[in-house]
Every structure is written in C-alpha cells, then in structure tokens.
Amino acid sequence: MNDERLGIVRLPFAGRSIPLRFTWRAIDAVGRAGVGELLDKAGQGEAGDMAALARLLEVASDGELNAEEMMNGDAPAFATAYLAVLQAWTAAVRQPEGEAGTSSENPLLRLWTSSKRLWGRLWAA
C-alpha cells in the first residue's frame, strides 16, 4: 500500500514490498537534474535505459535494491518499476496545498505528465 502523505510508493518484488521514497539524501546522491535525466533515459527505450532505471531504484529504495545485482540477475518488471519510480518522484516534488505556487508551475510535474502520455501511447499500441 502506498503512503502518499509520506511520499512512499511500495514496489512489489520477490514476495516483498520495497518502499521507494526520494528523500533529500536520496536526491543528493544523483542531484535533482540527475534524477530528471535518469527518468528521461529510462523512459526512452534506448541503450542504457535499464541501467538508468536500476540506478533510480537503488537511490529511491535507499540501497535496499542494488543496481548492479538488478542488471546481472533478478529485477522487477520494467513497467511496474518505472511507474513506481515516477510516482515516488512526483510525491517528492509535489507541493502541499497552500504553499506558494501551484503544482502546475512545477517543471518536474510537467515531466510526470509527459511521461504518463508516453506510457499511454506505448500501452495503446
């Protein structure tokens, strides 16, 4: 079960429920721009997309998932993992109601919207 209030998204994998959350420490590991670049890379479907997703999962799970192990062995289903990471990132950048600005002004949420459209087109094909 996801706990959006805390920004936690749970990824089912290998009979476990892995909590994904982008804390400041997690974001600092790759940088805010780095997270955006990794999300873009993972969503493009080109060479290196799986490595980008594995790195995002490692960062968001606070090391519970290991990128190198996922690249060489068992890994969660790509679509499930990618959507979970997007949800966790969206929860991390969403501003609470009443804060200055609105969520539509946030460029990271525009990335989320464009990614949702991309996945919608991929699944419709």
Predicted confidence (pLDDT) per residue in 77-118, tens digit: 888 999 999 999 988 887 555 444 444 455 555 566 666 666
Q: How crowded is residue 96: how many other Cβ atoms within 10 Å of its Cβ?
A: 7
Domain hosting residue 38, numbered range? 4-124
Calculate the CA 81 to chain-centre distance.
Answer: 8
pLDDT at 12 over 80: yes
Question: Per the structure, how many domains does the chain have?
Answer: 1
Nearest Cα neighbor of 83 from 94, 91, 93 is: 91
Full-model pTM? 0.70
Predicted confidence (pLDDT) per residue in 50-80, tens digit: 999 999 999 999 989 988 988 888 888 888 9
* C-alpha span between 36 and 33 (Å, rounded): 5
* C-alpha span between 1 and 22 (Å, rounded): 17
